[in-house]
Amino acid sequence: MKEHNNHLSRAYELEKPEDIQNFYSDWAKTYDAEVLENGYITPERCAAALAEFTPTQDLSLLDIGCGTGLSGKRLAEAGFTRIDGCDLNHDMLEVASMGLHVGQMTGQSEMREAFRAVTSNGAKALGLQGYGTEVGCNADLVVLQARDEIEALRLRPNRLAVFRRGQKIATTPEQTATVFMGKETFPVDFTI
């Protein structure tokens, strides 16, 4: 058993939200390997139990706190086909987004559904009051440098602004890329 950074033994010692976010961001790259090397079989056990006690695998499932997608993978192996996941940690979601490609779930409707899984669907499943951008809602949101959900997943865009309760709490300048061809330069945005 490899020690990695000994994350597993430290996971339950954290109390402050920012410490928890930083901890899981650091752990994202080795999370799967570490928990599996330590005998973590909960995703398999849960998927098997759910498959045994449900009359059909054609259910809409939401994995709250999906992290890198270990449970979603086991649910798919058990025959479930409509699985969404959400996680509050962006770096864990970076790892999970790779699952779209590995699972060959790259159709536009699948990508839009995956985007909703990590944005609005989690809040709906939790019954969060005041979630959203409609008038009267809390307006907790992240503004991405992307035109739509597909670009947000495909380009892994820059976070232009973060709002909490309608107040801007963080900004990042728009990113630009330039291609050099001989003596000429061309701006490029990698959009389709």
| Per-residue pLDDT reduced to its tens digit, 98-108 | 656 555 556 77
Q: What are the pLDDT digits (tens) for 119-143?
A: 776 666 656 677 777 788 888 788 8
CATH of the domain at 142: 2.30.40.10
Residues 18 and 103 grouped into a single domain: yes
pLDDT band at 21; cut points 50, 70, 90: confident
Question: What total of structural domains would you count in the chain?
Answer: 2
Burial of 94 (C-beta count, 10 Å sphere; 0-12/13-18/19+): middle
One domain for residues 168 and 188:
yes
Please state the rounded mean pLDDT for residues 17-40. Answer: 77
Indicate if 54 and 140 belong to the same structural domain: no
Instruction: Identify whether residues 87 and 46 lie together within a single domain.
Output: yes
Q: What is the CATH number of the domain that holds 58?
A: 3.40.50.150
CB 47 within 8 A of CB 69: no
| Reported pTM | 0.49
Examine the domain organization and report whether 149 and 120 are in the same domain: no
CB atoms within 10 A of CB 146: 19
Are 5 and 21 in the same domain?
A: yes
Task: Give the amino acid at 114.
Answer: A
Domain span at 166 = 132-192
Which pLDDT score, from 0 to 100, does residue 48 have? 92
**Most confident region among 77-86, 87-96, 161-170 by mean pLDDT:** 161-170
Among 62-66, 69-73, 163-167, 183-187, which stretch is predicted with the lowest mean pLDDT?
62-66
| Average of per-residue pLDDT values in the chain | 76
End-of-domain residue from the set 74, 107, 128: 128
